[in-house]
Amino acid sequence: MSPDHLSETRLDGRCKPGMNSDIRYTIEYHETTKHSEMSIRTSARYLDWENKPSPFKVYRNLPSVSLPRDFPTPKTNAFGALIGGEQASRYEPFDIDALAEILFFSAGLTRKMDLGGDTYYMRAAPATGALYPIELYVISREIPNLGAGVYHFNPLEFALVRLREGDYRKELASMSSDKVLNAPFTIAYTSLAWRNAWKYDARSYRHWFWDGGAMAANLLAVSNSKGLRTKIMLGFLDSDVNTLLGIDGEKEATMALAPVGIGLGKNNTGERKDVAPLHPEVVQDSKETEYKIIWETHKASYLETEQEVRAWAGTGVPRSRSNAQHGAAFDLKPPEEVSRNLDEAILQRGSTRRFARQPISLEKLSAILQASSTDVPFDFAKGRSLVDIYLIVNDVTGLPRGSYFFDSESNSLLQLKAGEFRKMSGYLCLEQPLFIDASIAVYLMTDLKTVLGSLGNRGYRACQFEAGVRAGNIYLSAYSLGIGASGSTFYDDAVTEFFSPHAGDKSTMIALGVGVPAYKAKPGRILPQIQ
């Protein structure tokens, strides 16, 4: 999609004023950070391993609260938790044990490896390059064994570092939505930009939302398993929320808020407090390189008034449908019964490094598509998905090889091209053999022109974050079924061209390969219990 084609887009007036309406920032960023054969082959990028950032944020001289190590685990059927959707919260004792369960299965440490004298940790949710740029914060009322406050989650110590003491839900509600008032706590997602930019340069801004969305997929599945109504909110006053969390918005910034257990929290009836800036001392472990285009793009999508926040939550996005012709339509099969519980699926998950060229069943593919297209409780677009699913089918029993579009309305796969496209599935994913060997390659795409026209620059956050959630569901559903998955970057315009004319107006958000692993991986563990 060319810059000229996108630049014709104008907001329809529903999400103004402020810089958010000037979508030239997003267009420039998206076009500048596209991958192509030329950009990859002419890149002079090298990795300075001596300057690699730590995957953990460490504060100096702040009090912390240890989380319990014997927390419960989500034993519900994984597939049921993934497609549970938004629901009313059922009452159950909500205490620090429940919070520990949610934090661990969203972002806890599941694997420990000693390589070359260094120790590496893997986590419950995937992250590009295993760099883990996403940080979690908790804004909580008082619950059993935890005082009200604003906390940072430290996965290495499995503890909460206290940044502010007291119930700040009313203050957070004034910056976002009243839904945080009657939830016991809200989880805030931030990105430490340098941690991922160290490897991926300016394109790493996309990774904020891929990684954050995958983590949110875990959160939603665990919340569903516990009957806790949860919402993912991208509408908030950026500067004010950053101040509440004690981050500067220059190196680390807030991406999303997730009130958990909506309906179970007692409203904060006290007077609204002033939120004074914090300047906590944080350990600096590497010299950062600044990528101005990241911060220019991010700040161009700031919401600056309460009116803009309200408008964001009420803005709809028109549904775009392609009129391009397609071949045969193939109905999905009833999904196979999933044998793994949610805790087992999360602990088993790890990005597959080698696929065997073996088929998966149409029933398994049907389950993955159902899980990846389920309704996600976002605060934008009024239930309308911004993401479309395209596939290259290399080896699925009962389905001819070829390229497909998943039509969620008819619950069927529309064949776009028939034929053998293994080499193409690898080429589109930066010529990686892993995706040649995968049973299917999945490309999550969006009509960026329409999204930006309705939501402004912040719409870029929305479609990237939603793609991250849906990619996270693909991961979890694949591992629930005993197969594997791995995410990938891609040649942007080549993907659009391959799936055209059907996808002629669409941009790729994320690509993944799914298939049968060529090796047997050991499951992860709940590391806090064994340290």
242 to 185, 197, 253, 256, 349: CA distances (angstroms): 17, 20, 6, 11, 32
Which pLDDT score, from 0 to 100, does residue 86 have? 52
The Cα–Cα gap between 509 and 495 comes to 10
Beta strands in 307-384 (DSSP E): 329-331, 355-356, 360-361
Do residues 260 and 186 touch, judged by C-beta distance below 8 A? Answer: yes
The Cα–Cα gap between 79 and 278 comes to 42
Is 13 inside any structural domain? yes
- 510: β partners: 444
- List the domain range (segments joined by +) for residue 299: 1-27+63-269+293-531
Q: What are the residue ranges of helices labelled H in 139-263?
A: 169-175, 193-200, 204-226, 238-245
Q: Give the pLDDT means over successive 10-residue stretches in the chain (531 positions).
A: 45 53 95 94 86 95 95 92 69 82 97 85 95 97 95 97 97 95 95 96 97 98 94 97 96 97 79 91 92 96 94 78 82 81 95 95 95 93 87 97 95 96 98 98 96 94 98 96 96 98 97 96 80 45
- 66: β partners: 159
The Cα–Cα gap between 231 and 257 comes to 8
Which of 471, 475, 472 lies closest to 484, judged by CA? 475
CATH value at residue 379: 3.40.109.10
Is 446 inside any structural domain? yes
Q: What is the per-residue burial (b if ≥16 Cβ within 10 Å, else e) of 67-81?
A: beeebebbebbbbeb
159: Cα within 13 Å, side-chain hemisphere:
14
Which pLDDT score, from 0 to 100, does residue 197 have? 96
Which pLDDT score, from 0 to 100, does residue 447 have? 95
The Cα–Cα gap between 255 and 134 comes to 9
Rounded to the nearest angstrom, the gap between the alpha carbon of residue 369 and the centroid of all alpha carbons in its chain is 17
Is the pTM value of this prediction over 0.85? yes
Is 33 inside any structural domain? no
Is 58 inside any structural domain? no
Is 43 inside any structural domain? no
Which of 233, 54, 184 lies closest to 130, judged by CA? 54
Which of 438, 420, 416, 419 lies closest to 429, judged by CA? 438
The domain tally of the chain equals 1
Do residues 449 and 1 touch, judged by C-beta distance below 8 A? Answer: yes
Is 47 inside any structural domain? no
Peptide bond into 144 cis (omega under 30): no
Residues 6+ apart with CB under 8 A from 337: none
Is 310 inside any structural domain? yes
DSSP state of 183: S
396 phi and psi angles, rounded to 5 deg: -130, 120
Is 285 inside any structural domain? no
